[in-house]
Structure 1
Amino acid sequence: MEIKQPSLKELLAQRQTLQQQVAAARQREADVVLADIVRKMHEYQISLADLMGRDHESQNVTVAAVPKYRDLQSGATWSGRGRAPHWIVDKNRDDFLVRA
């Protein structure tokens, strides 16, 4: 008794059909899950900001440091934070202060 193997064309068609079925099932389930999330957000009064982990009252915002020192030769600046650049090491920092 001989078992007929499907041809490449038949297998590709089956794969195409299965991929379409998988995509449709994924979309149906995602729609159900999304509706449940929205319902729970309304029920528990959860905002999108809460969901994203942001607090309107206290956002952690990083502010760039204002340059406090400037090298007149290169134009390089330093805020005074962190490790001192090579152009100011072992020199009087008052000579490099940025005047407002």
Structure 2
Amino acid sequence: MEIKQPSLKELLAQRQTLQQQVAAARQREADVVLADIVRKMHEYQISLADLMGRDHESQNVTAAAVPKYRDLQSGATWSGRGRAPHWIVDKNRDDFLVRA
């Protein structure tokens, strides 16, 4: 007895159908969870500010980066954060340190 294997086209169609079912199930469950969260927020008198943390806005403020390196030719500075500028790449960074 020979077992018929589904074709690629059939398998892709099944996958598409399953992906749609997964997305629908995820949305249904998310709606239930969201409704429960909103209900509990009302029940316990929790505001969005409480949920995000009272100091939420102050937490987003980052300290200004203090220059750690300086290019003596151009006067350009770099804090050492992020991508290194072209004037320091492949060079000894100690030569560019800002002396206090």
| TM-score for both structures, normalised by structure 2 | 0.57
Change (3 A) 1:45 1:90: same
Change (3 A) 1:39 1:73: same
Structure 1 CA distance for aligned equivalents of residues 15 and 92 of structure 2? 74
Structure 1 CA distance for aligned equivalents of residues 22 and 90 of structure 2? 68
Whichever of the two has the greater Rg, that structure is: 1
Q: CA deviation at 1:53?
A: 1.3
Structure 1 CA distance for aligned equivalents of residues 6 and 84 of structure 2? 72
Q: CA deviation at 1:54?
A: 2.0
Q: SS of 1:58's equivalent?
A: helix
Q: SS of 1:3's equivalent?
A: coil
Structure 2 CA distance for aligned equivalents of residues 8 and 90 of structure 1? 51
Q: SS of 1:25's equivalent?
A: helix
More helix by share: 2
User: Is 1:83–2:83 an aligned residue pair?
Assistant: yes
- Gaps of at least 5 residues in structure 1 are none
Change (3 A) 1:31 1:92: closer
- Could you list the per-position Cα deviations for residues 42-73 of structure 1 after superposition, in whole angstroms to 9, with x for gaps in the alignment? 00000001101125999896676999999999
Q: Which deviates further from its counterpart, 81-90 or 7-16?
A: 81-90
User: Is 1:27–2:27 an aligned residue pair?
Assistant: yes
| TM-score for both structures, normalised by structure 1 | 0.57
- Gaps of at least 5 residues in structure 2 are none
Q: Which deviates further from its counterpart, 14-23 or 47-56?
A: 47-56
